[in-house]
Structures are given as structure tokens and as C-alpha cells.
Amino acid sequence: MRKNMVNHESNGYKIIVVDDEQGIVDSLSIFLKRSGYDFTGLTNPLEAIERVKFEHFDMMILDFMMDPIHGDEVVEEIRKFNKELYILLLTGHKDLAPPLDTIKRLDIQGYCEKSDKFDQLLLLIESGIKSIEQMHTIKQINEELHEKNEELEKAYLDTIGILRQTVEAKDPYTRGHSDRVSEYSVLIGKKLGLDENTLHTLKIGGLFHDIGKIGIPDSILLKESKLDDEEYSQIKNHPMIGVHMLGDATIFKDIIPMVKHHHERFDGKGYPNQLSGKDIPYIARIAAVADTFDAMTSKRSYRDALPLDIVKSELEKCSGTQFDPAIANVFLGILNTEYNLILEIQEKYK
């Protein structure tokens, strides 16, 4: 009998037991240590909450009826900062168990009645540990996939980035254009209170909005005089060329609307689809303002950068026709009160 009481080698899983009866904690200590678990036992549920907050445990076993707070209240507090902890609830009697909807709401994985033999509890623990092992495996696979996806995304972004730089290298007057459009778009997005995912889309979309110009002949891109109708129709193809270049890559699916529609006009007179108003994707409406602003404030072979007062006047005049008025108004607010942010971006990408 004494031989059976010797602790097994630790299996690496940490279990915390919470019961305001010291005898239960002591009994479970012997039982769980013999089974190879790293055991922590507490009689104070409030102390248990603090321990779980600052220390990792794989599983919690706790009594339902405790002082000063019940087990479901302990779980409620823990779930505010830890959604993953596997929790088993002990009850003195099945009639004293919390309602089923409470168990589901708090994500309590199981409960059982107290017993001197602990047979049912052992089965629940072993089942729980298998679930924990599976979750660890899934989490590890997801982390590995995430790392691989990030590597693939970076490689793809780098490749397309080289093409983007090739486009801008053709014309020294547009160098830095996409970088500035990207930053202006994010700046507008932040003022509009957009979420981080959308801001990321604006950033990447701004960088690649003109990627389709790689398919436009240099003779048109670099022409110093006014384009004729045929040349202008070829320029208007660049959004769809960009869509075809990026469309097969899943990582670019969110920016496609920005690439495709950044030359649509709020009044429906833009291209390629003559969309109007709110039918134009929101991120494309933002890009349209950022893109036009950079075009007006950049030096061209046929003109110097336009003065700020003229640029603001154009934005005001075209609000509601070329631009979404709400977005134009937000950008005008930036120009009027936080122009230093614009200057920082322009200095960064001279």
C-alpha cells in the first residue's frame, strides 16, 4: 500500500483545486499527485482568482457552494480575463448544481457530485486533459500556419512591391506617390474611427492602388502634353489591370475594391464601372480623396505642385460630385487643423 502512495513522475499538467473544506483539498491533493499532476490547493476562492490571474493552470476543479462567494461567481470573474482555462465544478448534491444555462454561459466543461472514491472525477479529469492536449495541438498548428501565412504574405508583398516600385521608377515625378496615398488614406481612416483591420486594408490598398500602371505604355505615362482620347482610354484601364494582377492572391482580396474603384466619382461619372454614392466601396472613396490630393500637391512634368489654398478650394468644390462629402470634409479638417501631419508624410517620401 505504501508503494502505491509514492508520487508518480509529473505529467506536466497543472491543476488548481478550490474548496473551502480543507479535508476535500487534502484528499484531492493525495489523489491528483499520485496521478502525476502538479497540484495546487486553496480554500479561499478569492485567492484562487488572483492565482489564476498571474499563474498558468491547465485545469481548475472547484466547489460550487463556498464562502465568501460561490463557484459560479469565481468562474464569472475568471472568464473576464481567461477564456481558455478548463473548469470542472464539484457539487455536494446534484440538486445544488447551478442551472444549465449558467454552466453553458460560463463555459464550465463539466461537473460531478462529490464522492469519497473520486472515480467519476478521475474520468472527467482524464477526459478534460485529452481535450486540453487537443486544444494545445490545434493552437500550435494554428500558430505555425499563421507564421507560414505571414511568411508567404511578406514574400508576396515584397514581389508585388518590386513591381510597384518599377511603376514609380518610370516617372520621377510620381515617385513616392503610392506611399503617400497609403499614409493619407490611413490618416483619414483614423479620423473616421475605422477599426484596425480596415486601416490595414487602407495601408496595403494605398501602396498597390496604381499597380496596374505597369501595363500602361511608357509613352503614355511619361507624356508631357495633354493625352488624347485614345491615350486617356488606355490610362483608364489601369485599375482593371491591377485587379487582374492581384485578384488570384487571397491576401489581396480585401484591397481589390480599392484598386478597382479609386477612380470612381461620387456623381457616377468615374471609371471603370461608373458607380455612384454609397455604391462605391468605402475604402475606395477614401482612396479617391487621398489620391487626388497627392496628385494636386505633387510636381509634374507639365506643372508645379499646386498651392494649398487652391487644393483646398478644389476639394471643397468637388465635394459631393467627385468626392464623398463626408470624407472630403474630414480631410479638409486635417488640412485646416493638423497640416503638420501632412507635411511629415510629404517629407518622409520626398
Confidence at residue 328, expressed as pLDDT on a 0 to 100 scale = 97
User: For the chain, how many structural domains are there in total?
Assistant: 2
List, for residues 178-210, the tens digit of each pLDDT value.
999 999 999 999 999 999 999 999 999 999 899
pLDDT at residue 5 tops 50: no
- Taking each helix axis as running N to C, give the angle between helix 177-191 and helix 196-208, from 0 to 180 degrees, rounded to the nearest 10: 160
Classify residue 160 by burial, with Cβ atoms within 10 Å: 0-12, 13-18, 19+.
buried
Both 122 and 222 in one domain: the answer is no
Contact between 67 and 43 (Cβ < 8 Å): no
Q: What angle do CA 204, 207, 212 make, to 5 degrees?
A: 115
The SS3 call for residue 54 is helix
Catalytic residue list: 213
CATH classification at residue 311: 1.10.3210.10
Both 98 and 155 in one domain: the answer is no
Confidence at residue 17, expressed as pLDDT on a 0 to 100 scale = 95
Both 209 and 264 in one domain: the answer is yes
Q: Identify the DSSP state of 306.
A: P
List, for residues 290-322, the tens digit of each pLDDT value.
999 999 998 876 678 899 999 999 999 999 999
Average pLDDT of the chain is: 86
Both 76 and 224 in one domain: the answer is no
Query: Which among 62, 58, 113 has a CA at the least distance from the CA of 84?
Result: 58
Quote the CA–CA distance of 301 and 87 in Å, as a whole number. Answer: 69
The model carries a pTM of: 0.59
Domain that holds residue 76: 3-140
Contact between 341 and 331 (Cβ < 8 Å): no
* Cell numbers for 275: 458607380
Both 114 and 185 in one domain: the answer is no
> What average pLDDT does the segment 41-47 reach?
96
- Give φ, ψ of 93 to 5 degrees: -155, 145
CATH classification at residue 82: 3.40.50.2300
Per-position DSSP letters for 283-297, written without gaps between them: HHHHHHHHHHHHHHH
Domain boundary among 123, 140, 157: 140
